């Protein structure tokens, strides 16, 4: 339902997406090839670095990995990183409102995306406040994204705690690949307006620079009561410098952002009315600075150091947090015959300062999280170009649970040059966050009288664990088809549970009140298993089809001593058992035509029925430097929900 905005949308056709490269710049990078021009062999040979922390091709990776390329993002019409992740199999992306998503890898989707490690150029954006990711503040200029590597399955052996169900790594392009000027602008009925500008050039014979600025204003979701409270707008800017010569290379980059996201917050008060709801703005801001230095020591040997600082500010209607994080990581690689040895050390300090209304608090309000880590991995070519075995482990020490060990083993067998079979077994942990240890949130059980529930953190909460078994098969059928199949079985123990306690009576300024505690404990265990199939088919030189199917079964149960009666059903019923994705990319001369169809099965715990969605994009390359595009989203239904709550997603379009 475009709500009378079709005339406005037609007028916005004049808004342009412009990519302009200075012809006089001899260092300007050549135009990037369209995805329909890539052969299936080239698609299979896309480089990934997240699985082994060293470059390797997708086809030769012993893990369930999917690469979302820059062209995939552009041709999908996605305007946010969260929306771009819909292109990967095994990833659930359910939009909650204008600025919020529930994202999960192999289940366990939630607003806070727990048990999934998210990186942007190797910088962790996972917060120890609640063990998740605030997606509404993870933003980059999508034109500058080189690829998004999505690893389904544990990555704790190399990346450490909290990479339980997977790792998502957003990798941006080098400054030397983005010379020239790039401008974009547009808008629509939900994407009310967006624009970006970027310039790149040489700083000298051995260094390159790019700077960018961007802004967007997204309108609210559809509200049955007409109270449009969740509009969202953010401004962001940053820079990147890449340099070095010979065996040495360095990168320095940084970003600053500020914005607001509307939200509805419900909280309890100790005086009437005991239950309250406010519509307000979450004030979002922050910045980061990352430096990386690498040196090749000898043939087959190199050393690198990365350090970053990250500051975030978040002021919601009922809660405020300021967080400062510093991280230093060093890595050394050595090749000895058939062995490729990789090792590293790291340290991270993250200090959070919290305040809130009287019924929302963390005790203590200030805490510094410490994380010390080391890892070692040996990749052994037992039979060159045929059979590879990878063994490794990561040891970490955190100030919640002490030392944690996360070992893993992976094997890759290539019976033929265009076939590969892989298998893996690994252990990963999710360390406690401030929510499980320090949280103290009181909520109303009856708005007419002083009867409350209280979520209480437990100092005895210990890390959640998973033991994962995976296997996969890849096949390239000449230049016509590429098939990628992954199977998995995960055994979970010590998962988060809500344990009810005995009610007690507290004294208050307005009289006594009754409080029922719910303690956060480790009372859930179970398993998840599934299959993920992705296939690429080249119909002709100009037409490419992509399909993906994901099956997931989550079976959880309380442990013997648990009295939790809600977590099992709410977790199992918040991830779809079946997901289907079909994409078509057709290029006819200077015109690109793209369509993506999704079918998602029901989410019983969120009261969301099965639904279908269709996005479409038509783009015309008027000349080399100018592109005009029209995008339609959720075209099959006027309104619909994808996750819990009362907000509905509208049919929308932008130019």
Give the whole-angstrom CA distance, residue 267 versus residue 495: 26
CA nearest neighbour of 418 among 149, 43, 71: 43
| Partners of 579 in beta bridges | 550, 600
Angle subtended at Cα 68 by Cα 66 and Cα 71, rounded to the nearest 5 degrees: 150
* Reported pTM: 0.92
Q: Where are the alpha helices (DSSP H) in 34-124?
A: 40-44, 70-76, 81-84
Classify domain 6-212+357-654 by CATH architecture.
Beta Barrel (2.40)
**Six token digits for residue 337:** 């015959």
User: How many residues are listed for the chain in this entry?
Assistant: 655
The H or E element that residue 568 is part of is helix 567-572
**Six token digits for residue 623:** 């000349």
- Cβ(539)–Cβ(546) under 8 Å? no
Q: Quick one: pLDDT at residue 112?
A: 78
Q: Quick one: pLDDT at residue 32?
A: 56
Domain boundaries, the chain: 6-212+357-654
Bridge-based pairing state of the strands 481-500 and 451-456: unpaired
- Cβ(16)–Cβ(626) under 8 Å? yes
Q: Quick one: pLDDT at residue 16?
A: 33
- Across the chain, mean pLDDT equals 90
Angle subtended at Cα 219 by Cα 217 and Cα 223, rounded to the nearest 5 degrees: 160
Q: Quick one: pLDDT at residue 42?
A: 62
Give the whole-angstrom CA distance, residue 432 versus residue 448: 35
Q: Quick one: pLDDT at residue 45?
A: 66
pLDDT in tens, 455-470: 999 999 999 999 999 9
Angle subtended at Cα 313 by Cα 310 and Cα 317, rounded to the nearest 5 degrees: 155
Q: Quick one: pLDDT at residue 6?
A: 34
- Cβ(529)–Cβ(489) under 8 Å? yes
CA nearest neighbour of 392 among 62, 157, 142, 198: 157
Give the whole-angstrom CA distance, residue 124 versus residue 327: 9
Residues sharing a CB contact under 8 Å with residue 293, sequence separation 6 or more, in sequence order: 248, 249, 250, 304, 305, 306
Q: Quick one: pLDDT at residue 510?
A: 82
| Cα 291–chain centre separation | 22
- What residues in the chain have per-residue pLDDT under 50? 1-31
Bridge-based pairing state of the strands 145-152 and 64-69: antiparallel
């Amino acid at each position: 339902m475009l709500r009378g905005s079709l005339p406005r949308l037609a007028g916005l056709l004049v808004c342009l997406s412009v990519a302009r490269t200075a012809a006089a710049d001899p260092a300007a990078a050549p135009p990037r090839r369209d995805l329909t021009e890539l052969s299936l062999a080239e698609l299979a040979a896309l480089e990934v670095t997240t699985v082994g922390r060293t470059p390797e091709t997708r086809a030769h990776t012993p893990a369930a990995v999917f690469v979302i390329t820059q062209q995939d993002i552009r041709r999908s019409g996605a305007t946010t990183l969260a929306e771009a992740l819909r292109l990967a199999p095994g990833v659930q992306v359910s939009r909650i409102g204008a600025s919020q998503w529930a994202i999960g890898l192999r289940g366990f989707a939630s607003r806070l995306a727990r048990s999934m490690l998210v990186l942007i150029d190797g910088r962790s954006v996972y917060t120890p406040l609640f063990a998740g990711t605030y997606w509404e503040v993870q933003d980059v200029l999508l034109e500058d994204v080189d690829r998004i590597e999505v690893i389904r399955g544990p990555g704790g052996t190399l990346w450490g705690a909290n990479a339980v169900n997977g790792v998502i790594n957003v990798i941006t392009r080098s400054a030397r690949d983005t010379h020239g000027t790039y401008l974009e602008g547009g808008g629509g009925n939900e994407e009310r307006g967006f624009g970006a500008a970027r310039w790149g050039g040489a700083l000298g014979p051995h260094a390159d620079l790019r700077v960018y600025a961007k802004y967007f204003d997204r309108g609210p979701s559809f509200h049955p009561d007409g109270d449009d409270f969740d509009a969202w707008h953010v401004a962001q800017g940053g820079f990147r410098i890449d340099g070095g010569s010979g065996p040495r290379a360095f990168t320095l980059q940084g970003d600053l952002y500020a914005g607001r996201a509307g939200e509805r917050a419900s909280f309890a008060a100790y005086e009437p009315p005991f239950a309250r709801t406010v519509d307000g703005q979450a004030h979002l801001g922050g910045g980061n600075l990352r430096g990386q230095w690498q040196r090749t020591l000898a043939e087959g040997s190199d050393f690198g150091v990365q350090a970053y600082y990250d500051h975030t500010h978040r002021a919601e209607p009922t809660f405020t947090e300021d967080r400062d994080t510093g991280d230093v990581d060093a890595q050394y690689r050595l090749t000895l015959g058939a062995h490729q040895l990789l090792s590293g050390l790291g340290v991270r300090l993250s200090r959070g300062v919290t305040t809130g209304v009287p019924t929302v608090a963390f005790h203590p309000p200030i805490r510094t999280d410490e994380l010390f880590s080391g890892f070692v991995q040996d990749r052994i070519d037992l039979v060159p170009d045929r059979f590879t075995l990878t063994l490794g482990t990561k040891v970490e020490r955190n100030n919640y649970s002490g030392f944690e060990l996360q070992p893993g083993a992976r094997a890759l067998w290539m019976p033929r040059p265009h076939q590969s079979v892989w298998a893996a077994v690994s252990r990963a942990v999710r360390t406690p966050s401030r929510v499980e240890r320090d949280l103290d949130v009181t909520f109303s059980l009856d708005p007419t009288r002083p009867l409350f529930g209280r979520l209480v953190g437990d100092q005895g909460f210990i890390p959640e664990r998973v033991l994962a078994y995976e296997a996969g098969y890849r096949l390239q059928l000449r230049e016509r088809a590429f098939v990628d199949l992954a199977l998995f079985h995960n055994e979970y123990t010590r998962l988060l549970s809500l344990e009810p306690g005995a009610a007690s009576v507290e004294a208050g300024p307005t009289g006594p009140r009754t409080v029922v505690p719910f303690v956060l404990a480790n009372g859930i265990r179970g398993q998840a298993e599934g299959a993920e199939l992705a296939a690429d088919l080249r119909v002709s030189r100009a037409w490419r089809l992509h399909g993906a199917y994901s099956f997931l079964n989550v079976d959880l149960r309380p442990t013997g001593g648990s009295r939790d009666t809600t977590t099992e059903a709410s977790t199992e019923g918040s991830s779809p058992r079946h997901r289907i994705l079909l994409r078509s990319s057709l290029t006819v001369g200077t015109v690109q035509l793209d369509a993506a169809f999704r079918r998602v099965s029901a989410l019983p715990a969120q009261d969301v029925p099965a639904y279908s969605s269709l996005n479409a994009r038509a783009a015309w390359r008027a000349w080399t430097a100018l592109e005009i595009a029209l995008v339609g989203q959720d075209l099959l239904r006027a309104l619909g929900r994808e996750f819990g709550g009362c907000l509905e997603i509208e049919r929308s379009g932008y130019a």
